[in-house]
């Protein structure tokens, strides 16, 4: 009887050890903390809308931008994880979208985002991790510049600053949704490379921003897709 009990305890311990080893051998598991930094491109429809009426002016153009987000994820289970994503997309747009002009014909628009992410890891081995994700959060679109960037600028007639101090400023806030898929490959125990493809839509409004001197009452909407690549690191 005693020998059978010892055998049962022994085999139970072996099974638990194998199970724990199998979980830890997976590239994603409960308690894992993943950090990734990627760079890529976005292909988007960039639109602005002046005013609140249907007949007010609308402008829209296809643009390609640069993207560089930082992502952090925590494993809730062997399949589910939550995290945050902080990133900035950079576009070159026509300043006429915001009712001003510069000699260079285009200006840089920065879209910053901070999102809460939910990830589902549907395929997971020792080296490979494939997942789908959905993100929601806040975003902002910012345009800023002055004479040092473009020399002589052509700002709206209501700008009263002297030529030496003239600058343009536009800031709008709103929300963003993003969904897509991630693929990670770990060539070392903790280090790997990753790729992301995603679809997104963001909308922002300048309501309540007092420092804007261009794009007054002009909302901005950006939607499109992005592809990114970069390194990833697993802490646990």
Residue span of the structural domain in which 118 resides: 2-234
The whole model's pTM is what? Answer: 0.82
Cα 129 from Cα 184, distance rounded (Å)? 5
Instruction: Read off the CATH number of the domain in which 16 is found.
Output: 2.40.160.20
Answer whether 209's CB lies under 8 Å from 168's CB.
Answer: no
Give, for all 236 residues of the chain, the pLDDT tens digit: 434 433 443 343 333 333 444 445 689 999 999 999 999 999 999 999 987 545 456 789 999 999 999 999 999 999 999 999 999 999 999 999 999 988 878 999 999 999 999 999 999 999 999 999 999 999 999 999 875 666 555 555 444 455 545 789 999 999 999 999 999 999 998 999 999 999 999 999 999 898 999 999 999 999 999 999 999 999 98
Q: What is the number of domains present in the chain?
A: 1
Alpha-helical segments (H) within 88-228: 147-150
CB burial of residue 78 (10 Å; 0-12, 13-18, 19+)? middle
In angstroms, the Cα distances linking 129 to 53, 146, 178, 183 are 47, 46, 20, 6
Give me the DSSP letters along 7-52: HHHHHHHHHHHHHHHHHHHSSS-TT-EEEEE-EEEEEEEEEEEESS
């Amino acid at each position: 009887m005693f020998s059978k009990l010892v055998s049962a305890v022994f085999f139970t311990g072996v099974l638990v050890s194998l199970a724990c080893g199998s979980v830890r051998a997976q590239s994603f598991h409960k308690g894992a903390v993943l950090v990734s930094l990627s760079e890529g491109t976005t292909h988007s429809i960039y639109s602005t809308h002046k005013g609140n009426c249907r007949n007010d002016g609308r402008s829209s153009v296809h643009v390609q931008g640069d993207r560089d987000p930082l992502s952090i994820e925590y494993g809730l289970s062997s399949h589910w994880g939550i995290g945050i994503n902080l990133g900035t997309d950079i576009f070159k747009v026509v300043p006429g979208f915001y009712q001003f002009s510069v000699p260079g014909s285009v200006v840089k628009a920065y879209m910053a985002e901070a999102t809460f992410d939910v990830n589902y890891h549907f395929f997971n081995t020792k080296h490979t991790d494939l997942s789908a994700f959905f993100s929601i959060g806040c975003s902002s679109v910012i345009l800023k510049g002055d004479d040092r960037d473009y020399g002589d600028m052509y700002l709206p007639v209501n700008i009263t600053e002297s030529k030496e101090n003239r600058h343009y400023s536009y800031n709008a806030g709103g929300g963003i949704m993003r969904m897509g898929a991630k693929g990670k490959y770990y060539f070392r125990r903790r280090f790997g490379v990753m790729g992301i493809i995603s679809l997104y839509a963001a909308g922002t409004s300048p309501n309540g921003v007092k420092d804007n001197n261009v794009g007054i009452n002009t909302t901005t909407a950006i939607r499109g897709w992005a592809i990114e690549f970069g390194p990833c690191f697993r802490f646990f």
